[in-house]
Amino acid sequence: MNRTDMWRRIEAHPKAWDMVVVGGGATGVGVAIDAAARGYDVLLLEQSDFGKGTSSRSTKLAHGGVRYLEQGNIGLVMEALKERGLLLQNAPHIVHDLAFVVPNYDWWEAPFYGLGLKLYQLLAGKYGFGVSRILSREETLEHLPTLKTEGLRGGAVYYDGQFDDARLLIHMVVTAFEQGATLLNYVEVTGLTKDAQGFVDGVSARDTETGNEFRAAAKVVVNATGAFSDLLRLKAEPSAAPMIVPSQGIHLVFESSFLQGDSAVMVPHTSDGRVLFAIPWHGHTLVGTTDTPIAAATLEPVAMEQEIEFILATAGQYLTKAPTRDDVLSVFAGIRPLVRATGAATGVASGVSSGVSSTSALSRDHVVHIDRSGFVTVCGGKWTTYRHMAEDCVDQAATLAQLPEKPCVTHHLRIHGFPEATREHAAQEFGSLAVYGSDVYEIRKLIDTDPRLSEPLHAALPYVKAEVVWAARHEMARTVEDTLARRTRALFLNARAALDMAPAVADLMASELGWDEVTQAKQLAAFREVASNFALRP
């Protein structure tokens, strides 16, 4: 999979595409997989890198959403639990189950959470992950040795899924490509074209690497631009009522010593009524998140001081070693594309209460909306439910475009890299390279050909040089940031280590992509600017 071949496909394309998808996050790539696997002819355009938006900035949980259960939204939880099961089934190299412990400090919490989490387990039916149960104080501390013991009575354990969001997305991009879709990063959709009746019949776009502009005709155009959805809808219909309420969430990343053991902590009600997770992730501790309404979405959101302080203070209430600013290895912010309570939304969304002042109470359900101009928008939902969102969207888009009816086939479609070995065996044999699934053999071949590629890029992180070469050659990494933020997760795990690695990564990418010295210097400068948002100032 490389950009040159993708361009050749576009240039050789004689007629209108069955479907053009705008946006290369979980939603857009999910739609591309679904449509291509049904046999439709699909083009996906992403203005930046795949996953540059929210889809690399999540809590990385494949979950039903325990909190939505508390809100009484059983249908939403059941749907997500089923999707969680399908994700594990189809991408076992990237998704795995994880024990979550809800610590109890009041007498009523054990029966209350014990019962709720048992229901959560039962709702998963045959897609269940593990048996939830009430824990004694000792058992709770066996799961979470670094949990504060003061006032601790016990806990309740339940099981959910965890994954690497950007890595799953890249494997999904390859899956869509293998199913016949054409996908390009660094191509911005600048406008929509319409036929004589005023129906959207294509997009105008600009290759942000070369500045070249082109037009792609389509029988239907799908807007999967997440928090940016309204911007594109306004291009189709200047009077369109906004659908999206953007809400920011941040995470802080610390050393693994803050959360020892293999389990995560789930705090169902923080001081301001939100949920907080502390999770072991790639040998580090990930803590989040917040839910702060913001005025407008940006591609590189920045954590606010009060969000950082809130997470530090709340984590300090539960962990024996209270983290400080100096302990933060990385901070990252993402924007939830929540769907507005009223307005233009139609289709499959439901259950949105109006008049809410906090975004944490807004619906996490998804919407497929068709504007009068035939422009299809799919938004809302969550990472876990991307497959179901795509199925709904392609069903409706195909009907609208009068494409030949074809059933959805993604329930059992394996994501690229589906491994032969079990997760435990792969982890034993390949260590941190196990997330590449079956691609690990190809990465090993690179190392066999040039043993220098086995060299680590930094003592604090597990990444080796071969991963950079692989990313540039086969995963359409175009910038130093693509490699350090989304092909590896260096920037998300340890911003200063990522900055140290950047020159070596730029050297390797320069050889692969033919960069001259000026380009290499520009790449490094651009990366340093982005990385400054991930490195917390003392």
Ligand X SMILES: Cc1cc2nc3c(=O)[nH]c(=O)nc-3n(C[C@H](O)[C@H](O)[C@H](O)COP(=O)(O)OP(=O)(O)OC[C@H]3O[C@@H](n4cnc5c(N)ncnc54)[C@H](O)[C@@H]3O)c2cc1C
Establish if 383 lies at the interface with ligand X (CB under 6 A): yes
Q: Judged by CB, which is closer to ligand X: 383, or 492?
A: 383
Complex with ligand X: residue 273 or 456, whichever CB lies closer: 273
- Taking CB under 6 A as the rule, does residue 22 contact ligand X? yes
Q: Does 53 bind ligand X (CB under 6 A)?
A: yes
Closest C-alpha among 67, 64, 57 to residue 102:
67
Question: Quick one: residue 431, left, alpha or beta (phi over 0 = left, psi -120 to 50 = alpha)?
Answer: left
Residues in the chain: 538
Would you say 70 or 188 has its CB closer to ligand X?
188
- Count residues contacting ligand X (CB under 6 A)? 40
363 binds ligand X (CB under 6 A): no
Q: Report the residue from 47, 73, 179, 523 that binds ligand X according to the rule CB under 6 A.
A: 47
In whole angstroms, the minimum distance from the beta carbon of 204 to ligand X comes to 10
Which residue's CB is nearer to ligand X, number 52 or number 416? Answer: 52
61 touches ligand X (CB under 6 A) = yes
CB of 423 to ligand X, least distance (A): 19
- The interface with ligand X within residues 259-318 (CB under 6 A) comprises 289, 299
Residue 396 host element (H or E): helix 386-400
- Tell me the C-alpha distance between 346 and 193, whole Å: 24
Please, which residue, 55 or 373, has the CB nearer to ligand X? 55
Measured from the Cβ of residue 188, the count of other Cβ atoms closer than 10 Å reads 16
Q: Which of residues 180-219 bind ligand X (CB under 6 A)?
A: 188-189
Task: Rule CB under 6 A: choose which of 34, 46, 307, 392 binds ligand X.
Answer: 46
Contact 329, 342 (CB under 8 A): no
Least distance to ligand X from the beta carbon of 507, Å?
27
Nearer to ligand X, 465 or 478 (CB): 478
Q: Which of 224, 329, 495, 499 binds ligand X (CB under 6 A)?
A: 224
Pairwise CA distance, residues 399 & 55, whole Å: 28
Q: How far is CA 512 from the centre of its chain?
A: 27
Out of 20, 21, 26, 216, the only residue in the binding site for ligand X (CB under 6 A) is 26
Among 73, 104, 225, 314, binds ligand X (CB under 6 A): 225
Long-range contacts of 293-299 (CB under 8 A, 24+ apart): 293/245, 293/246, 293/247, 293/248, 293/358, 293/359, 294/246, 294/247, 294/248, 294/335, 295/246, 296/246, 297/226, 297/227, 297/228, 297/244, 297/246, 297/335, 297/337, 298/335, 299/48, 299/52, 299/53
Q: What does DSSP say about strands 366-370 and 376-380: parallel, antiparallel, or unpaired?
A: antiparallel
Q: Which residues from 502-531 bind ligand X, rule CB under 6 A?
A: none
Please tell me whether residue 54 binds ligand X under the rule CB under 6 A: yes
The tokens for 242 are: 């906004």
Q: How far apart are CA 183 and CA 29, in angstroms?
A: 9
Chosen residue from 82, 369, 382, 388 binding ligand X by CB under 6 A: 382
Assign 249 to helix, strand or coil.
Answer: strand
48 binds ligand X (CB under 6 A): yes
- Choosing from 44, 181, 244, 335, the residue that interacts with ligand X (CB under 6 A) is 335
Segment near ligand X (CB under 6 A); pick from 59-67, 262-270, 340-348, 476-484? 59-67
| Angstrom distance (rounded) from CA 178 to CA 158 | 36
- CA–chain centroid gap for 266, Å, is 20
We find the least distance from the C-beta atom of residue 518 to ligand X, in angstroms, to be 26
The residue among 463 and 527 lying less far from ligand X, judged by its C-beta, is 527
Residues 336-355 binding ligand X (CB under 6 A) are 336-337
Q: How far is the CB of 177 from ligand X (least distance, A)?
A: 17
Q: Does 417 bind ligand X (CB under 6 A)?
A: no
Residue with tokens 């991009």: 173
The DSSP bridge partners found for residue 134 are 156
Residues engaged in binding ligand X (CB under 6 A) = 22-28, 45-48, 52-55, 57-61, 63, 188-189, 224-228, 232, 249, 289, 299, 334-337, 381-384
